């Protein structure tokens, strides 16, 4: 298994303990597309953050490619994210002061020669139909173009695992379908995808659908099951 969670639990301490994840056990094979349905506050984003190494478990374990993330120091976690993980967000998270090309290059800028990163970024953007928007600023882009720029940034380093947090939630039907087809192409080429969504139709692109509610994960589920 590429990703293996066993009894993964995350508790946020406030006036009373809040269980963001409760004894989650999940195995993901390399090249799978796992769609995760759930209402707001159910633990979907927490699960992605745990897999990305951004959030430690309170108890339980997570292994990626046989390595226990709890044994990683901060430098190792940064290297893990930089080499293995791509992350796409609903709100794009582009920097307004940088062009599409610069936004795509930024995460890898300190770690590779600038000329090499630029060439890779231009090639990825061209592949995603953004070759004509290299020097546009985010405020000059449509929602679909912003998300394609965000995808380019996430896949620039050829990650093994792509984490998608409601990436089509702000898009119209045409752009939504376009983004899903792009993600399907990446998955067809072997990239593992974990796709968080409220959208039953988008979830159907996955090879497997899970439902999370109150931090508890189960197989299957329909949008009608959710509050």
Q: List, for residues 83-119, the tens digit of each pLDDT value.
A: 999 999 989 999 999 999 999 999 998 888 999 999 9
Mean pLDDT by 10 residues, the chain (227 residues): 97 90 97 94 95 97 97 96 95 96 93 94 96 97 96 96 94 92 96 94 94 92 48
Each domain of the chain, given as residue ranges in start order, spans 3-92+159-225
Amino acid 116: pLDDT: 95
What architecture is domain 3-92+159-225? 3-Layer(aba) Sandwich (3.40)
Amino acid 9: pLDDT: 98
Nearest 10 degrees: Cα torsion 100, 103, 104, 108: 160
Nearest in space to 78 (alpha carbons), one of 52, 100, 51: 52
The structure's pTM equals: 0.93
Amino acid 136: pLDDT: 98
| Beta strands per DSSP E along the chain | 3-12, 18-28, 33-37, 59-64, 67-68, 85-89, 161-165, 192-197, 208-213, 216-219
Amino acid 224: pLDDT: 46
CA 174, 177, 183, 186 torsion: positive or negative? negative
Amino acid 226: pLDDT: 44
Amino acid 64: pLDDT: 98
Amino acid 222: pLDDT: 56
Amino acid 58: pLDDT: 97
């Amino acid at each position: 298994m590429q990703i293996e969670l066993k009894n993964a639990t995350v508790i946020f301490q406030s006036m009373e303990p809040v269980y963001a994840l409760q004894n989650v056990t999940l195995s993901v094979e390399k090249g799978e597309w796992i769609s995760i349905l759930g209402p707001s506050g159910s633990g979907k984003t927490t699960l992605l953050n745990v897999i990305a190494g951004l959030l430690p478990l309170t108890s339980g374990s997570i292994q990626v490619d046989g390595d226990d993330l709890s044994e990683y120091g901060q430098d190792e976690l940064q290297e893990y994210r930089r080499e293995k993980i791509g992350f796409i967000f609903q709100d794009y998270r582009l920097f307004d002061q940088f062009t599409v090309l610069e936004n795509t290059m930024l995460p890898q800028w300190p770690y590779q020669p600038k000329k090499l990163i630029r060439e890779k970024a231009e090639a990825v953007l061209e592949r995603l139909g953004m070759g004509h928007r290299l020097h546009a600023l985010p405020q000059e882009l449509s929602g679909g173009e912003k998300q394609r720029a965000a995808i380019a940034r996430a896949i620039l380093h050829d990650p093994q695992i792509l984490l998608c947090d409601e990436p089509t939630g702000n898009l119209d039907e045409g752009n939504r379908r376009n983004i899903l087809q792009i993600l399907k192409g990446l998955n067809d080429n072997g990239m593992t995808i974990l796709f968080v969504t409220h959208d039953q139709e988008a979830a159907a692109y996955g090879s497997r659908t899970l439902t999370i509610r109150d931090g508890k994960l189960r197989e299957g589920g329909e949008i009608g099951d959710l509050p």
